[in-house]
Structure 1
Amino acid sequence: MIELGVLGAGSYGTAMAIQLARRGTPTRLWGRNADEIAVMQDARVNARYLAGCHFPASLTATADLPGTVQGSAHLLVVVPSHALRETLIRIEPMLNPEQGLACACKGLEPGSGLLVHEVVADVLGAARTLAVVSGPTFAKEMGMGLPTAVTVASRTPAFADLVAQALHGDGFRAYTSVDVVGVEIGGSAKNVMAIAVGIADGMGLGANTRAALITRGLAEIMRLGEALGASPETMMGLAGMGDLVLTCTDNQSRNRRMGLLLAQGRSVADSIAEIQQVVEGVKAAPEVLRLARRLQVDMPITEQVVELIEGRITPVQAVKNLATRPSRAEAE
């Protein structure tokens, strides 16, 4: 078995590490807090982020970053998008040329708006073998071993196959793709739409509104993906429509919960404090909108979410602004 190292011991990173180890792969799970990691290793569970999901025998939790990087054939990076660059800078001196990097980070880099593959190229060089992993996945369900499916995309098909095979099995399905950009855009923009749907549901606007927002949200994501050269099939697949539906319709979604809280009149800061984890859509929304405007892509739902997050309008105003837009052809 090829040994893989997972960088990031939050809920999603822990779930990914459990799945890799469940398949029999010797897996190291690295986290930055040495005290918390020691407790996890002794208890064989990440009680803070993934209670009840016990570690397989082949999973080792460690705070030893050099040991994890240098002792693993390849790495799976599962950190929030705003922490990706910092993580890559830390590991860059430790990497060997043959090590591939898989990233399960859903978001654009705050400030620069760069996609994951662009951040990796900026720090580690464009020649670094890279895959991105995304799809409709809640960490808790992954950790419990419930049926789950993801897309592994890489411009090096053999590396996509390697990562997919390491994850695939025991009810977990991993599909491969070469559409890196499509998988990244789907995983980033869907979080913004989930905030919008959460707001609508929190306001009691009903199932019709929810369905309309999900459908028109998908249209926005597809327009942006098309402008970046992504495949329409990717947008309609696991990393696009699949992840969008999941994130918009279940309260395990932090982004949906953010929208529900905003609809109650809570501030962004108070909502994040209650959720107690990173809400990627809050950071992604302005970057998605900035990217859309640069590419001259119309994204009205995203625009209203940004206006609301930044405190310029209320939830009622956001809904009114969307509802009073002029009629247009659905395909536009």
Structure 2
Amino acid sequence: MKVAVLGAGAWGTALAAHLAARHDTLLWAREPALAAELAARRENAHYLQGVALPAQLRYEAGLATALEHCGAEDALCVIATPVAGLRALSRALRELGRVPAHFVWVCKGFEADTQMLPHQVVASELAGHVSHGVLSGPSFAREVALGLPVALTVASTSAACRDLAVSAFHHGAMRIYTGDDLIGVEVGGAVKNVLAIATGISDGLALGLNARAALITRGLAEMSRLGVALGGRPDTFTGLTGLGDLILTATGDLSRNRTVGLQLADGRSLDDILGALGHVAEGVRCAQAVLGIARAQGVDMPITEAVCSVLFDGVAPRAAVSALLRRDARAESHRVDRA
């Protein structure tokens, strides 16, 4: 199979390395200098330092050439840009007149200014295209690039897209599950990043493992309430792209969003943290969108609200935690079925 991966960040590079073990894979880098460096060094020194890339993986800086590579009906395109770049790339595909027959995206979050989920961004730019979907789940790019085991979900309303994604990715140490709940999968992937910041703050304040477990559990309730309100299915949030991704991102030392929370608890400013991080922390980008959507839907998300107060309103992390602890007692169980 021919596969083109559009985006040479950590995740795009890791997926391309995995795909190249079995398929004719091309990795597109927007900057020609990066494409040349990848080809020369067989290493993405900025995003995956020390990880050797397969000799058979090829690199390209021309978008039209990359799209030609995945232009056949039995080929797959993987869009590996951040959410902030998804609209521009989708528009570029349309303007070039080379929209792939089948593609999946791997970004997680809401578009900040429109509060759209990725599938809504794609639909607004590529109206009428149907064989597309999202690949998501608990995964750190470095571990995937190193060939360690991982399980992901591809969600699409197109059986052809799901089948191609399974054929492309389901080999070696990667296991792929399938579904059609794009909304649920995407909401899980967005909200877990915000909740990981909260857990990082808690751990950074040394509030203990009890507090961490409470945040993850009540955070899952927030995620589920919002996801069902937007049209997702309740069982999606107890699967890989809900609970699984939340556990990984909230507790894993490779989590950028958790790192943001830890450093906020240590008294560092958000600007300093993001400047030193060197990678995108999607939880920061989409936290306000998540809260805005929740309020518009009448969904209570106190943990998300606390994170936003720390990120954007100058509230001290310990004060935000105290405000959460002062909330009134209530029943734990809330129905999340569609009304």
Query: Normalising by the residue count of structure 1, what TM-score does the alignment of the two structures yield?
Result: 0.97
Paired residue type of 2:47: Y
SS at match of 1:251: coil
Paired residue type of 1:79: T
Task: Report the Cα offset of residue 87 of structure 1.
Answer: 1.3
Once residues 183 and 8 of structure 2 are traced to their aligned partners in structure 1, the CA distance between those partners, rounded to angstroms, is 25
CA contact (8 A) 2:183 2:227 kept: yes
CA deviations 1:273-294 (Å, max 9, x no partner) are 1211111000111011111111
Structure 1 residue aligned with 2:57: 59
CA contact (8 A) 2:67 2:100 kept: no
SS at match of 2:258: helix
Structure 2 residue aligned with 1:172: 174
SS at match of 1:318: helix
SS at match of 1:57: coil
Counterparts of residues 113-262 of structure 1 (less than 5 Å): 113-262=115-264
Task: Report the Cα offset of residue 101 of structure 1.
Answer: 1.8
Once residues 96 and 172 of structure 2 are traced to their aligned partners in structure 1, the CA distance between those partners, rounded to angstroms, is 33
SS at match of 1:271: helix
SS at match of 2:58: strand
TM-aligned CA distance change 1:328 to 1:126, over 3 Å: farther
SS at match of 2:109: coil
Structure 1 residue aligned with 2:279: 277
Structure 2 residue aligned with 1:314: 316
Once residues 182 and 200 of structure 2 are traced to their aligned partners in structure 1, the CA distance between those partners, rounded to angstroms, is 28
Question: Greater CA deviation, 112-121 or 31-40?
Answer: 31-40
Task: Report the Cα offset of residue 317 of structure 1.
Answer: 1.2
Once residues 94 and 19 of structure 2 are traced to their aligned partners in structure 1, the CA distance between those partners, rounded to angstroms, is 23
CA contact (8 A) 2:42 2:52 kept: yes
Q: CA RMSD in A?
A: 1.2
Once residues 278 and 170 of structure 2 are traced to their aligned partners in structure 1, the CA distance between those partners, rounded to angstroms, is 31
Structure 1 residue aligned with 2:66: 68
Percent identity of the aligned residues?
45
2:303 to 301, 313, 332: 301
Paired residue type of 2:189: G
Paired residue type of 2:206: G
Task: Report the Cα offset of residue 193 of structure 1.
Answer: 0.2
Task: Report the Cα offset of residue 95 of structure 1.
Answer: 4.4
Once residues 97 and 278 of structure 1 are traced to their aligned partners in structure 2, the CA distance between those partners, rounded to angstroms, is 26
SS at match of 2:27: strand
Task: Report the Cα offset of residue 97 of structure 1.
Answer: 5.9
Paired residue type of 2:57: L
Paired residue type of 2:11: Y
Once residues 120 and 13 of structure 2 are traced to their aligned partners in structure 1, the CA distance between those partners, rounded to angstroms, is 25
Structure 1 residue aligned with 2:93: 91
Paired residue type of 2:3: L
CA contact (8 A) 2:76 2:164 kept: no
CA contact (8 A) 1:18 1:55 kept: yes
Question: Greater CA deviation, 39-48 or 250-259?
Answer: 39-48
Number of residue-to-residue matches in the alignment = 330
Task: Report the Cα offset of residue 311 of structure 1.
Answer: 2.9
Query: Normalising by the residue count of structure 2, what TM-score does the alignment of the two structures yield?
Result: 0.95
Paired residue type of 1:89: R
CA contact (8 A) 2:93 2:99 kept: no
Structure 1 residue aligned with 2:46: 48
Task: Report the Cα offset of residue 129 of structure 1.
Answer: 1.8
Structure 1 residue aligned with 2:337: none
Paired residue type of 1:4: V
Once residues 97 and 260 of structure 1 are traced to their aligned partners in structure 2, the CA distance between those partners, rounded to angstroms, is 41
Q: Which runs of 5+ in 1 are unaligned?
A: none
Task: Report the Cα offset of residue 93 of structure 1.
Answer: 2.5
Task: Report the Cα offset of residue 128 of structure 1.
Answer: 3.6
CA deviations 1:283-330 (Å, max 9, x no partner) are 111011111111111100001111111033110111011101000100
TM-aligned CA distance change 1:26 to 1:95, over 3 Å: farther
Runs of 4+ in 1 over 6 A off after TM superposition: none
Structure 2 residue aligned with 1:38: 36
Paired residue type of 2:286: A
Once residues 163 and 66 of structure 2 are traced to their aligned partners in structure 1, the CA distance between those partners, rounded to angstroms, is 22
SS at match of 2:152: strand
Paired residue type of 1:13: G
Once residues 309 and 182 of structure 1 are traced to their aligned partners in structure 2, the CA distance between those partners, rounded to angstroms, is 25
CA contact (8 A) 1:70 1:95 kept: no
Once residues 97 and 135 of structure 1 are traced to their aligned partners in structure 2, the CA distance between those partners, rounded to angstroms, is 25
CA contact (8 A) 1:69 1:94 kept: no
Once residues 26 and 165 of structure 1 are traced to their aligned partners in structure 2, the CA distance between those partners, rounded to angstroms, is 13
Task: Report the Cα offset of residue 53 of structure 1.
Answer: 2.5
